[in-house]
Amino acid sequence: MKVLQIFENNINERFMDQVISTLRNGEVIIYPTDTLYALGCDALNNNAIQRICRIKGINPDKTNLSIICSDLSQAAEYARIDNRAFRILKNNLPGAFTFILPASTSLPKVFKGRKTVGLRIPANAIPCEIASRLGNPILTTSVEIDPDDPTEGCLPESLALRYEDSASLIIDGGEGNFIPSAVVDITDSSSPVVIREGADEPIV
């Protein structure tokens, strides 16, 4: 596995080019967010999405899938956002939240038949920059955290060993967190529901 050290306050252009090339080739990467490190791929590449689901052992037909977008403008292409939902997103993002929204028809085949999509815009420049340069969202799913040793999932060097046969590269952005994002369902934006508490409390 290739290890690229990228810091959000000093993004290495050459390394970022390698990240984008890897994603466009349909490969899987590991990268930091403002919460957990995550597995990611091009969210418009069905084969790459299926590969991530196999790595995590999840059924894409029965599991909520989430995307990282560069900003709300990009998000509006892949989720249906009404005025109240927009205000909620504006008040909380970038931040450690996953918002469940009605999915748009722009998402690829693996999303077809699904009514919702999870949306993240992390308070970390690295994943947002990736989505911006890629030109579309990243499909994202957090790395597994061992409850007996949660700090292991925060260390890039440990993750590189664990996923060396599954991912093509890891972005070492320093030590991560082991508290996941809060998950908030705003499919009915007039009645938000917190599905999972996280590091921060949403403003709704």
Residue-wise pLDDT tens digits, 66-103: 999 999 999 999 999 999 999 999 999 999 999 999 99
Q: What is the pLDDT of residue 153?
A: 84
Task: State the total domains in the chain.
Answer: 1
Collect the ranges in the chain with pLDDT lower than 70.
none
- Is 150 part of any domain? yes
C-alpha dihedral over 59, 39, 184, 136, to 10 degrees?
Answer: -100
Beta bridge partners of 200: none
201 inside domain: no
**Does 153 fall in a domain?**
yes
Q: Give a yes or no: residue 204 inside a domain.
A: no
Q: How many Cβ atoms sit within 10 Å of the Cβ of residue 4?
A: 19
Q: How far apart are CA 131 and CA 146, in angstroms?
A: 28
The pLDDT score that the predictor gives to residue 142 is 94
pLDDT value of residue 111: 75
Q: For residue 53, what is the domain's CATH number?
A: 3.90.870.10
How far apart are alpha carbons 27 and 169 in whole angstroms? 9
202 found inside a domain = no
| Strands 138-142 vs 38-42: parallel, antiparallel or unpaired | antiparallel
Write down the pLDDT at residue 147: 81
Q: Which domain holds residue 61?
A: 2-196
C-alpha dihedral (164, 170, 173, 179), degrees to nearest 10:
-60
Query: Global pTM?
Result: 0.94
Neighbours of 9 (CB within 10 A): 5
